Every structure is written in structure tokens, then in C-alpha cells.
Amino acid sequence: MPQAIWNGRTLAESNEGQVVEGNYYFPPQSIKREHFQPSTTHTTCPWKGEASYYDIVVDGKINKDAAWYYPSPKEAAKHITGYVAFWKGVQVDDR
């Protein structure tokens, strides 16, 4: 089952994700919310729309903007509404 891991902790785990542009997007109900803090960062993708970010927090260490999601994506990306993807050292493994 795919897992997202950072600093020795599992951040998300699910077989129900979606792969978009090589990134595994985890369903919102699969993330361990205690490790996520909303960020004020936003970026825009031409076909997906505006992305919002989370800082990841594990054992007092912060990985700034290490997760992103599309709260209200454009039509072409509706299937990943609210799904969360990772980068910045977060390892996504298919275990």
C-alpha cells in the first residue's frame, strides 16, 4: 500500500490514490492530520488550477510546504479535489 513517510513517520497511507504527472495524490481521509499545518503558500497550474500547501510537522521539525492539494481544481483535475501530494524529502513508497 502506498505510504508517504518523512522523519520516520507515516503521513498518509492508501490504495485509493490517484497518479497525476508522476505524483501520487493521497485521498484526504488517508492523511494523518496531526502532522499537517496549513500554509499561506499558493501556486497555480495552468490545467489543475490553484494549489494550496501544508507544512509537515514531525517531532518538532517542520518541512515547509512539503505537501500540496487542490481545494477547487479546474474541471480536468476534479478527480483529485482535496487529494494530497508530497515533495521536499517526503518519501512515497509502495509497500
Q: Average pLDDT, stretch 20-37?
A: 97
Residue ranges making up the domain that contains 25:
2-94
- Which residues neighbour 58 within 8 Å (Cβ) at sequence distance 6 or greater? 6, 7, 8, 9, 11, 35
66 burial type by CB count under 10 A (0-12 exposed, 13-18 middle, 19+ buried): buried
Per-residue pLDDT for 21 more than 90?
yes
Task: Tell me which residue of 20, 40, 8 sits closest to 81, measured CA to CA.
Answer: 20
Query: What is the pLDDT, as a whole number, of residue 66?
Result: 98
SS3 content of the chain, % helix, strand, coil (to 5): 15, 60, 30
Query: What is the pLDDT, as a whole number, of residue 94?
Result: 81
CATH number at residue 37: 2.170.150.40
**What global pTM score does this model have?**
0.96
- Residue 73 near residue 49 (C-beta atoms within 8 A): yes
* Domain count within the chain: 1
Res. 95 pLDDT band, cuts 50 70 90: low
Q: Average pLDDT, stretch 56-77?
A: 98
Q: Average pLDDT, stretch 9-31?
A: 97
